[in-house]
Amino acid sequence: MENEILISVQELSRLYGDQHAIENVSFNVHRGEILGFLGPNGAGKSTTMQIICGVLAANHGSVSIAGYDINESPQQAKEHIGFLPEQPPLYDDLTVDEYLIYAGKLRGIEKDAIAEAVELSKERCGLENSGSRLIQNLSKGYKQRVGIAQAIIHSPAVIILDEPTSGLDPIQIREIRELMLELSEDHSVILSTHILSEVQSLCDRVMIINQGQIVLDKTMEQLQNDSDKTDHIEIALHNPPALEELLNIEGVASAESNHKDILRINFIPDTDATEAIVEKAATEKWGLYKLNPRDSSLESIFMQLTYGDGTPPAEEQTDNE
C-alpha cells in the first residue's frame, strides 16, 4: 500500500493560443507523499494543478487519480480529489457551515455523514467557533482556512493546494503545516508555493517547473546529498596571487575574480580541492580571510534553474491565467 500511485500524470501539454502553458509534463505521486511544486509566476503551476483536478482540460496527455482517468471516468476520479485553487472558491453570502455542507454534498458525501464531516474538517482547520459566521465577514486568513476545509472535507485520497499559505500569518502557517503533515499520512498532497523554506520543512519531494517544463524532480534526501557535494568555493585573500598560480593547484578547473575581491574557484568534477587551496594559501602567505563553501540551498538551485544565472530577469510577461 505504501507505494501505491495515487496521481499519475503522463505527457501533459496545454496550449493557450499557440503558447505552451505546460509541455510534456509527467510525474507520479505516491500515497503518503507531499510534493512541493515550485516555479516562478506564469511557469504553469496553476495550470498543471487545474488540469489534474479536471478544472481545465489538457490538449494532450492523461491524468489518472487513484486509478481513474480524469477524462474517461471523471465522476469517480473527482470523488478522490480535494482542490484549493489560488483564490479560495467561496460563496461570500453563505455562512461557513452552509458553505461546507454544500461543498461536502457536491463532493458526494452521504446525507447522514455530512454533519460529522463538517465538524471534523472545521476542527482540523481551526474553525470550530466560526460555523455561523458569514464568509464575507471573515479575515483573509480565515477565508483561506475555509478554503482548506472544503478541500479536505470528504477526506480525499489526493489533496491539491495552490498556494495554501498565502495570506496567513506565521502562526497560522505553522498550524497549516502540522495539518498537512497529519493529512499526508494516508493521502497524497501536492502543494504549490513561493516560499522555499516551506517546501524544505514540509515536503518529501520537490518539483521545479519553469516555462511549462519540469526542470527538477528530486526527493528532499537527494537534494540533501547533492548539497554535500561541492563543485566550487569562494575565497577572499589579502594578497591575491595571479590567477594562473591558482590554476596550478591540483583539482582546480578555473578561477575567476568576482566583485569585492572574492575569488570563485571551480573544481574539476568529482574532486574537492579545498584542502589543497588552504594549504597553498598558508604556505604562500596569501592572507586567506574568508572561505565560503558552495551555497547549494534550495533557493540557489531554484534561482539557477529558473533564471539561469541567479538574477531575476527584468519585468517579464506576467501570469496569463
Partner 1 sequence: MNNVFLIAGNELRRLFKSPLAWVILATVQFLVAIFFYLLLSQYMQPASAGTGLTEVVVSGMYQISGVVILMVSPLLTMRLITEERRLGTIKLLYSSPISITELVAGKYLAMSVFYILILAMISLMPASLLFGTQLDLGQIASGLIGLILLTSSFAAIGLFISSMTKQASTAAISTFGVLFLLWIINIAGTNASETTAAIFSYLSLLKHYTNLLNGVFNSTDVLFYIFVSLFFILLTIWRLDAERTHG
Using CA atoms, how far apart are residues 304 and 297, in angstroms rounded to an integer? 11
CB atoms within 10 A of CB 34: 21
- Cα dihedral 53, 69, 153, 172, rounded to 10, equals -40
Q: Could you tell me which residues are beta bridge partners of residue 64? A: 8, 69
CB of 103 to partner 1, least distance (A): 7
Q: Which is nearer to partner 1, 21 or 216 (CB)?
A: 21
Minimum distance of partner 1 from residue 80's CB (angstroms):
9
Between 49 and 196, name the residue whose CB sits nearer to partner 1: 49
CA distance 36 to 26: 15
Cell of residue 14, nine digits:
496545454
Residue closer to partner 1, measured from CB, 108 or 308: 108
Q: How far is the CB of 79 from partner 1 (least distance, A)?
A: 5
State in angstroms the smallest separation of the CB of 49 from partner 1: 10
Whose Cβ is closer to partner 1: residue 59's or residue 296's?
59
Question: CA-CA distance, 55 to 59, in Å (whole number)?
Answer: 13
Q: Are 124 and 166 in contact (CB under 8 A)?
A: no
Q: Residue numbers of the site for partner 1 (CB under 8 A)?
A: 50, 53-57, 59, 74-76, 78-79, 81, 83, 85, 87-94, 98, 102-103, 105-108, 150
How far apart are CB 106 and partner 1 at their closest, in Å?
A: 4
CA 285/CA 241 separation, integer angstroms: 10
The C-alpha atoms of residue 112 and residue 96 are separated, in whole angstroms, by 19
Contact indicator for 255, 266 with CB cutoff of 8 Å: yes
Please report where in the chains the cell 592572507 appears, as a residue: 287
The amino acid that residue 220 corresponds to is M
Q: Number of helices and strands (H, E) in the chain? A: 11, 14
Grid cell digits, residue 32: 503518503
Residue 197 to residue 11: CA distance in whole angstroms: 29
- Please state the closest distance from residue 168 (CB atom) to partner 1, in A: 18
Nearer to partner 1, 89 or 251 (CB): 89
Closest CB to partner 1 among residues 76, 172: 76
Nearer to partner 1, 88 or 240 (CB): 88
